Structure 1
Amino acid sequence: MTVAVATTIASMVGEVIWVDNRDMQDCVGRFIRVRVRFDVSLPLMRRSPVTFPEVGEKFVEFRYEYLPEYCFSCSCLGHATQECVKKHEASRGKLNPKELSHFTSAFEGLE
């Protein structure tokens, strides 16, 4: 991955501030660290399709570091999933198991 490609992909998330290429070469592995400024009131982007000329469309997954509280249910910063469940229950009553699965689906397969 080149710095230009990393910058283009990261710009889908927000304003690119910095791309980590300490050795002044392109990224050889599967990851490259990019610092991005984005609106934290919007849900975080987890993955997005990107079209590469050589291989076609591929999904690119985004990983975030040093985040404050994050809700896996609504994908927003500023509160934990447990608080999102409590807020939902306060407005609509106790959740049944089917409704609760909506709030815990992000954890499926992590056993």
Structure 2
Amino acid sequence: MTIAVGATLGKVLWVDNRDGDDCVGRFICIRVHFDVDLPSIRQTPVTFLEIGERLIEFKYEYLSEYCFACGRLGHSTQVCVKAHEEVHGRFTVPSLNQFTTAFMGLEADTNLL
């Protein structure tokens, strides 16, 4: 199951199964080779025989620069913000909503405007 979930991201290189074949707990480490030019996947639905469908959330470690606006690696959020403002002007609430899809499902304590 872990390899199938990891394969939704890319090529699975390694699975941390030091505790045996069962994933007991809330997370498991999977090392995956994936295309950094594509937006990062934040979650995927998985159907378990015993409990039905659940959303599996992905957490990434040891990434280079990550853009929270477009969800891609290789540049900072400021790059996307400047490019957007050069074309469309200052952010409005509707443009901010469509621009920050990488934040879907997160709760913010800070107003981003």
Aligned match of 1:73: 69
Question: Is the CA contact (8 Å cut-off) linking 2:10 and 2:34 kept in structure 1?
Answer: yes
Q: Percent identity?
A: 51
Aligned match of 2:89: 93
Distance apart, 1:27 and its partner CA = 2.4
* Residue type at the aligned position of 1:90: E
Say whether 1:7 aligns with 2:35: no
Inter-partner Cα distance in structure 1 for 2:100 and 2:46: 28
Question: Is the CA contact (8 Å cut-off) linking 1:81 and 1:103 kept in structure 2?
Answer: no
TM-score (normalised: structure 1): 0.83
Specify every segment of 5 or more residues in structure 1 that has no aligned partner in the other structure, as ranges. none
Look up the SS of the partner of 2:86 in the other structure.
helix
Inter-partner Cα distance in structure 2 for 1:22 and 1:54: 24
Distance apart, 1:57 and its partner CA = 1.2
Pairs within 5 Å for 1:1-80:
5-80=1-76
Change (3 A) 1:23 1:100: closer
Distance apart, 1:15 and its partner CA = 0.4
Specify every segment of 5 or more residues in structure 2 that has no aligned partner in the other structure, as ranges. none
Distance apart, 1:76 and its partner CA = 0.7
Change (3 A) 1:54 1:24: closer
Inter-partner Cα distance in structure 2 for 1:66 and 1:38: 13
Change (3 A) 1:43 1:104: closer
Q: Deviations over 1:36-72 (max 9, x none)?
A: 0011000000001111112111110011000111111
Q: CA RMSD in A?
A: 2.0
Distance apart, 1:81 and its partner CA = 1.6
Inter-partner Cα distance in structure 2 for 1:74 and 1:15: 23
